[in-house]
Amino acid sequence: MPFDVRTVCVDGGVELVVSGEVDLAVAEQFWNAIENAIRPDRPLVLDMQRVSFFGSTGLAVLLRALNKLNQDPAKLVIRSPSPLVMRVLTVTATDQRMTIEDRRDHMEPTEQSLR
């Protein structure tokens, strides 16, 4: 799947939806999307559930964003990371330096989910 990053409005905020392969070839494009989305009054939220490749270059971009956000874990939110992304973040202990959320944490309970 080719790399793509889209800006979407979710719950009154802005979120970047990242999909495909995050590698050296797209690192600058990934960084530019992040840099354009960073706002001092709200966290940067990256939905990464559709990322199919994520290595050291993608990790470097996230660390660069974290530096720009003054190393505040609450300011960088990785929502629904794919298993591959989660593995890279866990192995490098980077998951401890940012907020990891599951999309289900933000869903309203439904009658079906309450049973």
Q: Collapsing DSSP states into helix, strand and coil, what is residue 8?
A: strand
Is the residue at 109 inside a domain? no
Contact between 48 and 82 under an 8 Å Cβ cutoff? The reply is yes
pLDDT tens for the chain, 115 residues long, are 799 999 998 776 789 999 999 999 999 999 999 999 998 888 999 999 999 999 999 999 999 999 999 999 999 999 999 999 999 999 999 999 999 998 655 444 333 333 3
Is the residue at 111 inside a domain? no
Any idea what the CATH number is for the domain that residue 82 is in? 3.30.750.24
Q: What pLDDT shows up at residue 114?
A: 35
Dist. CA 107–CA 31, nearest whole Å: 28
Task: Give this prediction's pTM.
Answer: 0.85
The number of beta carbons lying within 10 Å of the beta carbon of residue 102 is: 11
Q: What pLDDT shows up at residue 69?
A: 94
- Number of domains the chain contains: 1
Residue 85, domain extent: 4-103
Helices H, strands E: what count in the chain?
3, 5
- Which helix (H) or strand (E) segment is 62 a member of? helix 56-68
